[in-house]
Amino acid sequence: MRLKILIFVLLLSFFSYGFEPIKPIPLSVPYNKEKAELGKLLFHDPILSRDKTVSCASCHDLYTKWGTDHRNVSIGVEGKKGNVNAPSVYNSYFNFRLFWNGRAKNLKEQAKGPLHNPVEMDMDKKTIEKRLKKIPVYKQLFKRIYGDIRYEYVLDAIAEFEKALITPNSKFDKYLRCKEEGNKDCKKILTKKELEGYITFKKIGCISCHNGINVGGNSFQKLGVIFPYRWKPYYPDRYQITHKEEDKNVYRVPSLRNIECTYPYFHDGSVKTLREALKKMSYHNLGFELSDEEIDKIEAFLKTLTGKLPEIIRKDYENTKK
Ligand code: HEC
Ligand code: HEC
């Protein structure tokens, strides 16, 4: 027992002396360029939905909405309403599981979800293959990369594209990288308010759930640890998988990367502004109300987590065709 306490205290002091619980997004991630470019076409193609009106990009707009749709809940084929807020696809490669309740282990497995969901794209394997086989550009690309058009390859190409959807080089990552390199004057990169916001974020305990590369995305936690949040049976929480009472309102902690751009917030999309999200978080999960000054500071810090748009969507598709 004593040993455990000792280890705990040692760990705690390790945390307080310069160890950074948030890691910068790598500047690049290795991926197969040809597959990713094919995945980019598929990601934007509505023929992958039953009534040919919805593509992945309809709910994950990469150019103007930071990989989300800015709706409370998404709208799929025939205008059908979904039951949960769409998270960003940016940096989802770094999440330990995918979906609000983590039911998919990796991006390939995740992509099956929306393709077959009756209120999203409502497709089946055979129809996907049949439709793609009729389009010359797909015939040519799939033949060159995979040898044939198959459902598994569609998932593979989309997942490869999503690997490339990372947003490195945020102001905060520049600060972290500066410190990693052992430089002394890194504090200059952030304003006083932003730095104080980060210190507050750590001090009051936000960091215990929002840490790692994605400032979240690496554990399951309850919304309402201290003061309960209303529970509704149709939201995809851990309870839907485990049917254990304690898993009601337990979600994979969302990433806070690019958080100022991915509103509205929470699984139900009920929270419109970042300030309101911070108030709700500190009340429900830490058990106290933040002062306006604390909110200002934390908000300023969170805004430094906005990165640069991924390389792969910045350049025109034409440039990559040789
Ligand atoms: C009709 C809107 C809609 C469409 C179309 C759609 N998505 Fe989603 N996406 C969502 C919603 C809503 C969620 C959250 C669902 C959940 O957690 O239960 C989600 C979750 C995700 C996630 C998980 C992110 C994370 O951090 O957990 C990824 C990745 C993703 N979608 C990629 C795709 C891809 C690839 C396609 C196309 C094959 C696609 N989506 C099509 C709405 C959509
Ligand atoms: C006990 C774990 C825990 C703590 C502590 C915690 N959070 Fe969260 N946070 C979560 C979970 C879980 C969610 C998802 C809530 C939902 O949508 O159901 C979340 C959601 C959020 C969101 C909305 C993200 C989105 O995309 O919808 C923000 C912003 C946020 N937290 C910031 C903070 C801040 C700031 C603090 C400190 C005041 C904090 N959190 C403390 C677990 C935690």
Reported as a single tens digit per residue, the pLDDT across 205-228 is: 999 999 999 999 999 999 999 999
State in Å: Cα 281 to ligand 2 middle.
Answer: 5
Ligand nearest to the CA of 282: 2
Q: Is 267 in the pocket of ligand 2 (CB under 6 A)?
A: yes
Does the C-beta of 207 come closer than 6 Å to ligand 2?
no
Alpha carbon separation from 214 to 26, 121, 278, 286 (Å, rounded): 11, 28, 17, 21
Contact 95 CB / ligand 1 (< 6 Å): yes
Compute the average pLDDT of residues 95-105. 98
- Asked if pLDDT for residue 96 goes beyond 50, the answer is yes
Question: In whole angstroms, how far apart are CA 168 and each of 72, 176, 271, 308?
Answer: 27, 12, 26, 6
Structure tokens at 117: 């969901």
Band the pLDDT of 3: cuts 50, 70, 90. low
Q: Tell whether the model's pLDDT for residue 321 goes beyond 70.
A: no
Q: How far apart are CA 157 and CA 42, in angstroms?
A: 8
Check whether 77 has a pLDDT greater than 70: yes
- The residue behind tokens 């597959």 is 35
**Rounded-to-integer distance, Cα 204 and Cα 147, Å:** 54
Q: Which residue has the tokens 């999200």?
A: 277
Task: Calculate mean pLDDT across residues 263-268.
Answer: 98
Does 191 score more than 80 pLDDT? yes
Phi-psi region of 288 (alpha: psi -120 to 50; beta: other; left: phi over 0): beta
322 has a pLDDT exceeding 50: no
Taking only the tens place, the pLDDT of each residue in 232-253 is 999 999 999 999 999 999 999 9
* Confidence label for 4 from pLDDT (cuts 50, 70 and 90): low
Q: What distance in angstroms lies between residue 28's CA and the mean position of ligand 2's atoms?
A: 27
Reported confidence tier of residue 307, pLDDT bands at 50, 70, 90 = very high
Q: Distance, CA 237 to ligand 2 centroid (Å)?
A: 14
Q: What is the pLDDT of residue 18?
A: 61
Tell me the average pLDDT across 58-63: 96
> Does any ligand 2 atom lie closer than 6 A to the CB of residue 56?
no
Please give the average per-residue pLDDT across 301-309, as a whole number.
97
- Residue 33's nearest CA partner among 150, 144, 164 is 164
Which pLDDT band holds residue 230 (cuts at 50, 70, 90)? very high
Measured from the CB, is residue 223 less than 6 Å from ligand 2? yes
Q: Give the ligand whose atoms come closest to the C-alpha of residue 215.
A: 2
Which residue is associated with the tokens 């550009």? 137
Distance linking the first and last C-alpha atoms of the chain:
64
Please determine, for residue 169, whether its predicted confidence score (pLDDT) is greater than 90. Answer: yes
Confidence of residue 319 (pLDDT cuts 50, 70, 90): low
Please indicate whether residue 250, judged by its CB atom, sits closer than 6 Å to ligand 2: no
**Does the structure show a pLDDT above 90 at 14?**
no
Indicate if the pLDDT at residue 12 is higher than 80. no
pLDDT over threshold 70, residue 20: yes
Residue located nearest, by CA, to atom 39 of ligand 2:
206
Residue 82 in contact with ligand 1 by CB distance below 6 A: yes
Q: Is the CB of 217 under 6 A from ligand 2?
A: no
Looking at residues 189-214, what average pLDDT do you find? 98
Question: Ligand 1 centre and the CA of 144: distance in Å?
Answer: 28
- Which one of the ligands is nearest to 159 CA? 1
Which residues contact residue 220 at a Cβ distance below 8 angstroms, ignoring those fewer than 6 apart? 102, 238, 250, 251, 252, 253
Using most ligand atoms within 8 A of CB, pick from 72, 235, 281, 286 the residue to mutate for ligand 2.
Answer: 281
Task: Give Cβ neighbours of residue 42 (< 8 Å, ≥ 6 apart).
Answer: 48, 56, 154, 157, 158, 161
